[in-house]
Each structure stands twice: as C-alpha cells, then as structure tokens.
Amino acid sequence: MSTALPTILLVDDEHHSLASMRMALEDDFDCLTAASADEAMRLLEEQFVQVIFCDQRMPGKSGVAFLTEVRERWPDIVRIIITGYTETNDIIAAINDAGIYQFLTKPWHPDHLVMSAKNAADLFRLTREHDRMALEMRFLSRSLESKVEEQRKALREGLGFENVLRAPNSPMNGVIAQARQFASFDVPVLITGEPGTDKAALARAIHYSSLRSDRPFFEVNCAGVDDDILEVELFGARRGAMPGRQTQKTGLLRKADGGTLYLRGVSELSQDMQRRLARFATAGTFRPLGSPEMERSDVRLLGGTDRPLGTAVAEGRFRADLFYALGQTTLSVPPLRARVEDLSILSQHLLFAAADRHGKPVHGLSDDALRFIERYDWPGNLRELENEMVRMLIFSQDSVLGPELISRHILQASPDTAEADRSVDSVLVSEGTLKERVEQIEMRILRETLTRLKWNKSRAAAELGLSRVGLRAKIERYGISEPGKTAVSDREEED
C-alpha cells in the first residue's frame, strides 16, 4: 500500500522560482504553491502542510513576517526561509524570533533544496512522534493499581464471555448466564458436553470473568496421558526424582497458585490420579514427585468431560469424592445440532479465521451454502465445522464460497430440519418399504450432485449415468429445485 507524500508549501512572488522549486521537489513531495503571503495563508487553512519554503522578499508582507504568523497558528509546521546573500546578516535576529528552522541562500542547488526538504519532513514526523510518546508516557504514569485494573478489564473483554460467539436467540445464552453467576463465586465447576464443543473456551471465560482474572490460567489434557507424565505435569518433581533429569520441575498446581486450572477429560483419569486429585480438591495439598513433604496451593479447579460422570460414579469407575468436589456447580454445553441459530455466525467466523491464517482473503459464505450448513447435524461439533471451513477455503476460487464446495456427505443431509437424524445410515435402518428407503437415498444423491456441479444438469446426468430427460423426470418427481428458483426449467445447461 503506497503512503501519502509529505506536503510542502512553496511561497514566492516570482513564478519561475516557484516552478524551479516545484520541479526539484515534486518527485518526493506533494507540492502546493502560492505567489503571496495571503494566498499561502488561505492554503494553510485548507490543507495539512508539514513544511514551508518561503522567499524573504515579497510585496506586501516579508517572508519572516509571514512565517512568524504561521508559528503562532501552526507551530508544528517546519519553516524554512530563502534569502539573498546581501541580506543574510540583516535578518538573522528576525529569523531567530520567528523560530525558523533553516534559511537557504540564493542561488540554491536542487540537491541542497531536496535534502533540506527531506530533513524538514523528518523533523516534522519525529516531533509528532515525540509528542505522541510523551502523551502516552503521561497516560502510562498512572498508579499501578489503575494499570492492573485496566489489564484485567482487557483480559475480560478479550477472553471473557463476549468471546463465546452466539446469536441473539442462541441456546447458549442460558449457559452463559449460568456461567457468569458461577464465575463470581470461587467454587469448582464441572463442564460437560460432547467432544468438540469447546468447553475450554467456557472455562477460560469463567476464569477471566472471576476475581482470579489477574492470575494465571492453565489447562491440561488428562485423556490419553500416562500417569507418570501426568503426575509430573500436575504435581511437579524434585531434583533427581526423574531418571535422566537433574533439574526441578514445577507442576501446574504450583504454577497456577492463585489462579485457575482446567482439567480436560477428567473422566479418563486413572483411579490413582483420581485419588491424588481428590486430596487436592478437598484439602488443597499435594506432594511433588520425590518430595517427602506436602505442599499447599490455592487453585480453582474447572473440569471438562465428554461423558456423564454420574454414571461412572454409580459403576465405580470414578471416585465419588472427586466427582462431588469438582461438581459443586455444573454446566452443560449444547452440541452444534442444538445450536442451529449459531451456525451462520460460527461458520463465518471460522472461515475468516482460516482465511487470515492462510493468507487467502474471502468475503464469506453464500446464503445457499449456509442453508446446507444449518441443516447438517455436525456430529464432530466445532472441530468438524472448522475442518469443513478450511477445506472449503482450500478449494475456493471465488471470494464468496458457494454450496458446491461443501463435502458430499453434508450436501446429502436431509433438507427437513425437523428430522432428528439426517444421516444416510439412519435411512438404511429406518422403517418403511425398500422402495421408500431407496427413494430417500436417491433424492439426497441427486441434490448433492446437482449442488456440487452448480446445477449443470448435463454434467449431473453424465455423472449419474442418466439421460437429461431422465434426470429432469427425477427432479420433478422429488420436487428438487435450484435455490432461488421455484420450478424446474426445461432448458438444459450445456457443458
């Protein structure tokens, strides 16, 4: 992106002098010209000028007198006066009184004129930056308590509940309202929800909306991690306690002292790790690996689980004391299939984030694409939606992404949003005659193929092994219509 050139005002009653100065400077500067002090003053009132070159001898008002007036009204403008050899000594005092940056003598050399102009423009820029920095320093010199409060506010705004994207009528609104209440009380929270529902974002929002927001927030994945590794990660280890390592390891329970620790996948903890965490959750104490003594830490625990822990407690797979310690309050995050209202906002946000990450700018999703996205179940929730947005971005050729880019299994989802299960597998095991179930699958394949091929019926018929007349008959039979059209056109698109 090109930057604007500095603006210089040239003032001289001799037109050939103005033309010569302009010719020397116009490659590097935006030049304004005036033949008198009055004309120059009018230009200054209308234009943003950084530097003035002004001749000393002009009819009516001298250069020094004019620049003195400029100093009073626009003190930041860098002022340069041009004089003749015979008058230099006579106006030194006047130049000082006018606060003039430099004077040039006639005849001037073009290179000297350009160098003076560049130095003056740099001086103007540096003066502005100095004033800005001085203002910032005065702003930053407030009390430490005020600065900490501003930092906490910034964190709350950037990582708080406002960061959980949702529509005005979202099913998440009730969950967020509960979470706000829990955030203000220093108690553990157990967050439940299907995989991929981003329970960690809710945990972060709770932390940054709590009284602990100026203290650390950590999260650890408890699923699929060996106890030896998880023990050191959580509780830490003394020097020499780990084979091959002679340094001390500080655990997250110590690092998060005064803050919050989010335990992802707590349902996957082994019985031994459940016992050790239950002791910390109830007594606030833990023992690092290799240490003979217990340590104490003040950490708020937040737990996340994909499975209902109540059932695991009843079956003896999860300790009741840890369950009740973590579950003083509980939140349930709904899956994407229950958040149809949010899908437009979430998909557009994930698409723009992917576009920014990969350096491929786009303008968003088309309305037709959003309709397909909103009627799919998204069993993988936000992770699956994010993957689909990245995939569409990779194959996109236009700035607005259409439904032809959507994965085939999503395009084949039933258009009936009232259905509880829209997968093709559900049709195979559903009730109904063989003909009825085959027709359901056929209708979905037709819709998916037409959408993917941008409703080019010739290409769709060729891919499906149908004649164009046969394809048109099936479209009419199933009532399939191109988005934005209510009737099937008899005109066939050619390849």
**Residue extents of the structural domains in the chain:** 7-137, 156-334, 338-478
What DSSP letter does each residue of 292-325 carry, written as one string?
SS-EE---EEEEEESS-HHHHHHTTSS-HHHHHH
Type of residue at 69: E
Question: What is the fold of 338-478?
Answer: Helicase, Ruva Protein; domain 3 (1.10.8)
Element spanning 192, H or E: strand 189-192
Cβ neighbour number for residue 178 with a 10 Å cutoff: 15
Q: In the chain, what are the helix, strand and coil shares in percent, each to the nearest 5? A: 50, 15, 35
Q: What is the pTM of this model?
A: 0.58
CA angle in degrees (0–180, nearest 5) for 346-347-353: 90
Q: What three-state secondary structure class fits 208?
A: helix
What's phi and psi for 337, nearest 5 deg? -65, -20
Q: Do domains 7-137 and 156-334 have the same CATH topology?
A: yes
Determine the number of helices (DSSP H) and then strands (DSSP E) in the chain.
21, 14
Cβ neighbour number for residue 126 with a 10 Å cutoff: 10
The predicted structure's pLDDT at residue 59:
86
Closest CA to 262 of 252, 273, 247, 274: 252
**Residue corresponding to tokens 């009532």:** 479
Q: Angle at which helices 434-452 and 457-464 pack, to 10 degrees? A: 130
The predicted structure's pLDDT at residue 300:
95
* Angstrom distances, CA of residue 118 to CA of 2, 50, 113, 325: 18, 11, 9, 69
Closest CA to 165 of 363, 330, 376, 348: 348
Element spanning 137, H or E: helix 110-140
Q: Cβ(182)–Cβ(331) under 8 Å?
A: yes
Closest CA to 282 of 301, 308, 258: 301
The predicted structure's pLDDT at residue 390:
95
CATH number among 3.10.620.30, 1.10.4190.10, 3.40.120.10, 3.40.50.2300, domain 7-137: 3.40.50.2300
The predicted structure's pLDDT at residue 492:
42
DSSP state of 403: G
CATH number, domain 156-334: 3.40.50.300
Name residues of the chain where pLDDT drops below 50. Answer: 1, 416-422, 486-495
